[in-house]
Structure 1
Amino acid sequence: MKLPAWLLLLGHLVAVCFRDVSAVNAVTDNKNVQELEFGETTLTCRYTLEKEQVIRLEWKKTDLKGETSFVYFNNSLSEDLQKRAQMLGSSIRIMNLSRGDSGKYRCEVSAPQDAKIFDEVNINLVVLVAPSVPVCDVPSTAMSGSVVELKCREKEGNPASEYKWFKNGFPIELSAKATNSSFKVDRKTGTLHFNTVTKEDTGDYYCEASNNIGKSQRCPMKRMQVDDLNLAGIISAVVIISLVIILCVCGVCYAQRRGYFSGGKSKKEHNSASQAENDFKHTKSFVI
């Protein structure tokens, strides 16, 4: 008895679905893992096979720069992980985590005797790092009415830190509003920008970096002194410098006239030589 075409097609679809389900299949418990620096984590990778066989298991890592390297290959962990990692079946336990461990990990399972011979899972690992002490750039002096920029930066925190500025121990937002100062704070870059500083902006400044991982860190306090432009002092300095230049010019002219420079000395020697030559000619004529 010949089966209908639609029944044959249905049987084929069922067979295909059953084969795909029972073929090599890799899974993980968590595709996005976040752990603190110096802690530990387990990157899970489990698989099922259609047939019992010897499989090939490999772990690879793509770091934050986009470079890919082996983590587990040929039944051995990479050299940098051998002392602080171990295989738990097909999963990897990594201890004493550092920022360099962050990246995209790929568990690859190859089963050559299965209908589908290859499968993989991808896990994104982020190692959370508390901020380091930021470096602050605060000018020691500034002129009233000028544009001034204070900078703050730290490079260790992950995720990237945000920044907050303080003046005389209080948030800059409160201190600046009290003096009607014109400023802008960029919390992402750590820049404190004054459009025009005044004497009221004089004070002790420091910056604080935080990323909700561990303690916030602050740079040492630095003082910025803002002074008004001293026009009287500038005019006095210009007058004094002008007088000095005039005196120098007069001195040079006087020395030139007195023959204290090489030009005057050469002229005197030239006159002496001319006189000696005339005396010689006069003597020679007398002898003849």
Structure 2
Amino acid sequence: MKMSPPAWVILALGYFVALCCKNAFGVTVTSDNTDVKVIEFGEVILSCKYRLEKEQTVRLEWKKVSYNGDISFVYFNKSLAGNLQTRAEMMDSSIRIRNVTRSDSGKYRCEVSAPQDKKNFQEILIELNILVAPSVPVCDIPSSAMSGTVVELKCKESEGYPASQYKWYKNGVLLDHPGPNSKAANISYRVNEKTGTLQFNTVTKDDSGEYYCEANNSIGKAQRCIAKKMQVDDLNIPGIIAATVIVALVILLCGCGVFFAHKRGYFSRGKPSEKERSDKYTSKSESDFKHTKSFVI
């Protein structure tokens, strides 16, 4: 026969569980906004609120976790740290920051603990992103190109947040993005809004003109680089053939001249001929023979 536990055992277990839960969640931490975005040089409030299950002394700390993983104190021992002392203030357990800069971007951790109960520790993470207007982009535009070749124009800026989108203009007119009928419309270029490149698969003389790029991320005013002219010229095939023929004729004439000069002996002038060298050797041999004969007699 199966017997159920006594009522007092059940009550005791329930009380024990409730007591443990109360100690484990004696501090509750919340925030009005955990994903904060603000334009650079503006003002922001990092909200952190806590609730206690029972009256007790708490310890409040704020820490910043940068995007490279470094951790630094923001609020510690009832005092703000670093340059926040001059441009921030505490609002209960929240922080109000004025004149924010892009260096303030990162993740902020609000930590609330009750030293009397070691288990009473809670935290909340708040991400702060500073919105920055784009800077003047740097453009790479070739001044000249040959028709029929692949040409790429580049545009880039690195300060804007969120990342900028790019547009290209020719002679002040926006270059539309080629659609599925780009081949039928005889469009030979491709614009990449994210990377800022303008690529011509086969550039032609009609692509000659003044180009510039514009960067925009909806924060502040769009920025553009200085316009620069690109001149596209046709490849001069007849001229290249004529120059090749002329060079070949010059090389042939030089070779023939060297051959005939060598044939006529111009390169051997000043040097004794074979006959002269032979006569000289014979004369020297006879002289040596006579001298030897005279010595023997």
Q: TM-score, normalised by structure 2?
A: 0.77
- Is 1:212 the equivalent of 2:218? yes
Distance 1:93 1:280, change over 3 A: farther
Per-residue deviation, 1:130:
0.7
2:47 and 2:209 map into 1 onto residues whose CA distance is 54
- Tell me whether 1:60 sits opposite 2:66 in the alignment: no
Question: Does 10-19 or 194-203 show the bigger shift?
Answer: 10-19
Q: Give the Cα separation in 2 of the matches to 1:204 and 1:85.
A: 49
Give the drift of 1:27: 2.3
Q: Does 1:150 align with 2:153?
A: yes
- Provide the rounded CA distance (Å) in 2 between the counterparts of 1:241 and 1:30: 77
Deviation at 1:129, TM superposition (A): 0.7
Question: What amino acid is the match of 1:157?
Answer: G
The CA distance in 1 between the partners of 2:43 and 2:220, in whole Å, is 16
Match of 1:284 in 2: 288
Distance (whole Å) between structure 2 residues aligned to residue 86 and residue 80 of structure 1: 11
Indicate the SS of the match to 1:52.
Answer: coil
Q: Which amino acid letter does the alignment assign opposite residue 108 of structure 2?
A: Y
Pairwise CA RMSD: 3.6
Counterpart for residue 229 of structure 1 = 235
Residues of 2 paired with 1:250 and 1:30: CA distance?
90
Q: What is the aligned counterpart of 1:33 among 31, 36, 51? A: 36
**CA-CA distance at 1:127 after TM superposition:** 0.4
5+ residue gaps, structure 1, are: none
Go from structure 1 to structure 2 and tell me whether the alpha carbon gap of 1:52 and 1:147 turns closer, same or farther (over 3 Å shift): same
Quick one: structure 1 residues 154 and 172, their matched pair in 2 at CA, closer, same or farther if it must change by over 3 Å?
A: same
Pick closer, same or farther for the CA change 1:92–1:256 going to 2, 3 Å.
farther
C-alpha contact (below 8 Å) 2:23/2:120 kept by paired residues: no
Q: Give me the whole-angstrom Cα distance separating, in 2, the residues matched to 1:40 and 1:254.
A: 92
Give the secondary structure class of the aligned counterpart of 1:97: coil
Q: 1:84 to 1:248 in 2, by over 3 A?
A: farther
Deviation per CA, 1:202-222, whole angstroms, max 9, x where unpaired? Answer: 110101000011111111111
CA distance in 2 between counterparts of 1:158 and 1:31 reads 19
- Report the Cα distance in structure 1 between the residues aligned to 2:211 and 2:144, rounded to whole angstroms: 13
Distance 1:284 1:7, change over 3 A: closer
Cα distance, 1:100 vs structure 2: 2.9
Counterpart residue identity of residue 158, structure 1: Y
What is the SS of the residue equivalent to 1:181? coil
Q: 113, 116, 120: which is aligned to 2:116?
A: 113
Out of 113, 126, 129, the residue aligned to residue 126 of structure 1 is 129
2:72 to 66, 70, 76: 70
- State the Cα distance separating 1:185 from its structure 2 match: 1.4
Distance of aligned partners of 1:74 and 1:61 in 2 relative to their CA distance in 1, 3 Å threshold: closer
1:92 is aligned to 2:95: yes
1:63 and 1:281, CA in 2 relative to 1: closer, same or farther beyond 3 A? same
Q: Is residue 42–residue 91 contact of structure 1 (8 Å, CA) maintained in 2? A: yes
Provide the C-alpha distance between the structure 1 equivalents of 2:165 and 2:131, rounded to a whole number of angstroms: 15
Unaligned runs of 5+ in 2: 1-5
Percent identity among equivalent residues? 52
Residue 38 of structure 1 and its aligned partner are, at CA, apart by 2.7
Tell me how far apart the structure 2 counterparts of residues 197 and 181 of structure 1 sit (CA, whole Å): 10
Aligned length: 281
**Which amino acid counterpart does residue 244 of structure 2 have in structure 1?**
V
CA distance in 1, matches of 2:62, 2:104: 14
- Length-normalised TM-score, structure 1: 0.80
2-side partners of 1:102 and 1:83: how far apart?
18
Deviation at 1:190, TM superposition (A): 1.1
Cα distance in structure 2, aligned partners of 1:243 and 1:209: 55
Tell me, in whole angstroms, the C-alpha distance in 2 between the residues paired with 1:100 and 1:248: 71
The 1:282–1:132 alpha-carbon spacing in structure 2 relative to 1, beyond 3 Å, is same
